[in-house]
Chain A
Amino acid sequence: MTAWLRLHWMAFALTLSKLSRTPFATLLNVLVIGIALALPAGAYALLVDLRAAASNISGDPELSVFMALDASKQEVAAIDARLRAQAQVSRVEFKPRDVALEELKRNPALGDVIAALNQNPLPDAYTVRLGQNDGDALEKLAAEIRTWPKVEHVQVDSAWVRRIAAALAIGRMAVLLLAGLLSFALLAVTFNTIRLQILTQRDEIEVSKLLGATNGTIRRPFYYYGVVLGLLGGGAAGLIVFAALQFMNTGVAEFARLYASNFRLEFLPAGDLAAILVFAAALGWLGAWLSVTRHLREFEPR
């Protein structure tokens, strides 16, 4: 047992010394893996941020009900009563057309234009909020309200949020596809690096086998190498994404300020970062396994 642990420790120490003996080659390998992983990881971080932003904006689902311009006070009040009678409606807000016009007049850019009008072009409007966030119920209610008398237009305000959600789902698929494709880059890098090592260590491997090294002992350092290379690459990907987001945030802050928002791009949550590291280590191990299995076969007795 202690011999087994010692063999593991020696394999790990050997890996570190191998990596540090060729710092430039190691750096290039780590960068290739890091960049390959940073693309999907960065896209994923953006998606997470966008989704968070979209859910902030959406809030509760809302309906805007616009009355016809020729609706009488009684007809408008009747709609008010019918809206409040709906079970799933949690709040009804009425904005009379005069109040809406007053608000517009207060806008310095539009004041003159509004003053030039000889009649109020704005309709009476209701804003209706639903208790639970159920897109289908919202659509059904909107369809029903459209059939009521003197209702000119019903707008489902959550429609664009749903469109964003659909777009984000496509984005997720694209990220997964990108991650899948670039994983092959990581596999190829570890596979090839370890193939080269096996070639340069032919003599040592051959002699070790002749002197009674088990296949496990021969393979172990290469597995460690693959895993450590993967971890370093995953770490590099994390740094690249972090730096890129910080860089982009200087632009995003200005953009958000224009929209009076505090929105900024957040770094990946710790759980996702850990998942990326584990994924990179697993890919490194797999690349090592493929390479070692393929290239150590020739040392077997005939």
Chain B
Amino acid sequence: MIEFSAVYKRYPGGYEALKNVSFTVQTGELVFLTGHSGAGKSTLLKLIPVIERANSGSVIINGQNVAALRANAIPFLRRNIGQIFQDQKLLYDRSVFDNVMLPLNVTGVHPRDAARRARAALDKVGLLPREKANPIALSGGEQQRLAIARAIVNRPSILIADEPTANLDAGYAAEIIDLFAAFNQVGVTALIATHDQTAVARAAAKVKARTVELKAGELVA
């Protein structure tokens, strides 16, 4: 469960990215966060794994107020949240397989288990045949699927994605949305920031999906 109450985020220089944001995503829900560029979608998502901290208000993830989380507890929070970043943050100095291994390596999972789980995750997004390739050799859609495989390899209960269909043509975007719908069907809570209304409509046609809209840092719906 994700619960924002009266959250404010101000950047140095006085710019207010979020103003009095309150909303709840129930466990197992699929929620789209919409709004124009600069409305505060990315900022809101970054507060969940504490990439940034709220100035006031509380952000409660699975019963824990992460806005006040001790720095040394943040890594353990992040292991339970699958993150898909706007700029993907793939590592191009290693193979597709090793990219998916990274979250398991940093937590000390046994290499044999880790390899099995990494292949399972790659299989889920249909990239298993490309495991030895370098991410740079993948198409845009494949790179996004790789980012998703890395996000789910730790079997997180919460998935957050920032513009996962941006810069993808309609076919690839549809694949990605179908993946999120599939994860949601097996019980994963998902919060997806997007301004792509076609994507929202496609997901809503498959599973129960809700939309919250940000406008200039404030929640409008």
A121 at the B interface (CB under 8 A):
no
Query: A210-241, CB under 8 A of B: which get 1 and which 0?
Result: 11111101000000000000000000000000
Whether B108 and A212, one on each chain, are in contact in the complex, defined by CB atoms closer than 8 angstroms, is: no
Q: In the assembled complex, which residues on chain A have CB atoms less than 8 Å from the CB atom of B93? A: 204
A10 at the B interface (CB under 8 A):
yes
A6, A204, A207, A301: the one contacting B108 at CB < 8 Å is A6
Q: In the assembled complex, which residues on chain A have CB atoms less than 8 Å from the CB atom of B107? A: 3, 212-213
B103 at the A interface (CB under 8 A):
yes
B side interface size, CB within 8 A? 29
Closest-by-CB residue of A relative to B105 is A10
Work out how many contacts link A and B, with CB atoms closer than 8 A: 67
B168 at the A interface (CB under 8 A):
no
Whether B52 and A302, one on each chain, are in contact in the complex, defined by CB atoms closer than 8 angstroms, is: yes
- CA–CA, A108 to B110, complex, Å? 85
Whether B91 and A6, one on each chain, are in contact in the complex, defined by CB atoms closer than 8 angstroms, is: no
Whether B79 and A212, one on each chain, are in contact in the complex, defined by CB atoms closer than 8 angstroms, is: yes
Q: Is the interface of A mostly helix, strand, loop or mixed?
A: helix
Whether A7 and B108, one on each chain, are in contact in the complex, defined by CB atoms closer than 8 angstroms, is: yes
Residues 288-302 (chain A) with a chain B CB within 8 angstroms: 300-302
A2, A207, A213, A300: the one contacting B71 at CB < 8 Å is A300
Whether B91 and A207, one on each chain, are in contact in the complex, defined by CB atoms closer than 8 angstroms, is: yes
Whether B89 and A203, one on each chain, are in contact in the complex, defined by CB atoms closer than 8 angstroms, is: yes
Whether B89 and A212, one on each chain, are in contact in the complex, defined by CB atoms closer than 8 angstroms, is: no
Whether A207 and B52, one on each chain, are in contact in the complex, defined by CB atoms closer than 8 angstroms, is: no
Whether A204 and B76, one on each chain, are in contact in the complex, defined by CB atoms closer than 8 angstroms, is: no
Whether B49 and A210, one on each chain, are in contact in the complex, defined by CB atoms closer than 8 angstroms, is: yes
Whether B53 and A208, one on each chain, are in contact in the complex, defined by CB atoms closer than 8 angstroms, is: no
Nearest chain B CB to A22's CB is how many angstroms away?
14
Closest-by-CB residue of A relative to B83 is A210
- CA–CA, A208 to B52, complex, Å? 16
Query: A1-40, CB under 8 A of B: which get 1 and which 0?
Result: 0111011001000000000000000000000000000000
Closest-by-CB residue of A relative to B77 is A212
A266 at the B interface (CB under 8 A):
no
Nearest chain A CB to B53's CB is how many angstroms away?
6
Whether A210 and B108, one on each chain, are in contact in the complex, defined by CB atoms closer than 8 angstroms, is: no
Q: In the assembled complex, which residues on chain A have CB atoms less than 8 Å from the CB atom of B83? A: 210-211
Q: In the assembled complex, which residues on chain B have CB atoms less than 8 Å from the CB atom of A203? A: 89, 91
A212 and B75 in contact, given A6-B110, A204-B91, A207-B102 (Cβ under 8 angstroms): yes
Whether B85 and A210, one on each chain, are in contact in the complex, defined by CB atoms closer than 8 angstroms, is: yes
Nearest chain B CB to A11's CB is how many angstroms away?
10
A146 at the B interface (CB under 8 A):
no
Closest-by-CB residue of A relative to B99 is A207
B53, B71, B103, B110: the one contacting A212 at CB < 8 Å is B103
A209 at the B interface (CB under 8 A):
yes
Whether A211 and B102, one on each chain, are in contact in the complex, defined by CB atoms closer than 8 angstroms, is: yes
A3, A206, A213, A217: the one contacting B89 at CB < 8 Å is A206
B154 at the A interface (CB under 8 A):
yes
B78 at the A interface (CB under 8 A):
yes
Nearest chain A CB to B127's CB is how many angstroms away?
18
Whether B110 and A210, one on each chain, are in contact in the complex, defined by CB atoms closer than 8 angstroms, is: no
- CA–CA, A114 to B49, complex, Å? 101
Q: In the assembled complex, which residues on chain A have CB atoms less than 8 Å from the CB atom of B91? A: 203-204, 207
B51 at the A interface (CB under 8 A):
yes
- CA–CA, A18 to B26, complex, Å? 45
- CA–CA, A127 to B95, complex, Å? 85
Whether B72 and A212, one on each chain, are in contact in the complex, defined by CB atoms closer than 8 angstroms, is: no
Residues 87-111 (chain B) with a chain A CB within 8 angstroms: 89, 91, 93, 102-103, 105-111
Closest-by-CB residue of B relative to A5 is B108
Whether A211 and B103, one on each chain, are in contact in the complex, defined by CB atoms closer than 8 angstroms, is: yes
Q: What are 16 A-B interface contacts by the 8 Å CB criterion?
A: A2-B108, A3-B109, A4-B108, A7-B108, A10-B108, A203-B89, A207-B89, A209-B75, A210-B51, A212-B75, A212-B78, A214-B75, A215-B72, A215-B75, A301-B71, A301-B74
* Chain B interfacial positions (CB closer than 8 Å to A): 49-53, 71-72, 74-79, 83, 85, 89, 91, 93, 102-103, 105-111, 150, 154
For the complex of A and B, list the 4 residue pairs with the smallest distance between their C-beta atoms, beginning with the closest. Answer: A3-B108, A213-B106, A212-B79, A212-B78
